Amino acid sequence: MALLIAFADALPIVGSGTVLIPWAVICGMEGDINLAIALIVLYIIITIVRQLLEPKIVSNQIGIHPIFTLIAMYTGYKVMGITGLLIGPIVLIILKPIFETLINKGIVKTIFDKR
């Protein structure tokens, strides 16, 4: 069951809730309230980690602010669908050094500089 949950959690739109919530409902209807509550608590913990900590961890690893990572993921999703969700941050990682070089050389500054 853990492998099924991990596989579902790895998919961007599906998530672990597609396994954990129905499982908790079935357990609750069968009378196993303790397991149902434990599954709901587990789902809440997974959701909090995925929504709050994951962008921060990913951004620290690639050196990009979390909000830009989320924007790249959203933009990639809107442009290319689920594949774009994964490609968006990769494009951002590629573009970051290019823009840093342009800013450090002063090219962007000269474009916006009023003379």
For 14-35, write each residue's pLDDT tens digit. Answer: 788 889 999 999 999 999 999 9
Predicted pLDDT of residue 16: 86
Measuring CA to CA, which residue among 73, 78, 105 is closest to residue 91? Answer: 73
* Whether 59 contacts 69, CB under 8 Å: yes
In this structure, are 90 and 56 located in the same domain?
Answer: no
Residue 115: pLDDT over 60: no
Domain boundary among 62, 79, 98: 62
* CA distances to 4, 9, 30, 56, 58 from 75, in Å: 28, 21, 43, 18, 17
Cα-based torsion angle of the residue sequence 15, 20, 23, 27 in order, rounded to the nearest 10 degrees: -160
In this structure, are 95 and 70 located in the same domain?
Answer: yes
- What range does the domain containing 46 cover? 1-62
Compute and round to an integer the Cα radius of gyration of the chain.
20
pTM exceeds cut of 0.75: no
Q: Cα separation of 85 and 103, whole Å?
A: 27
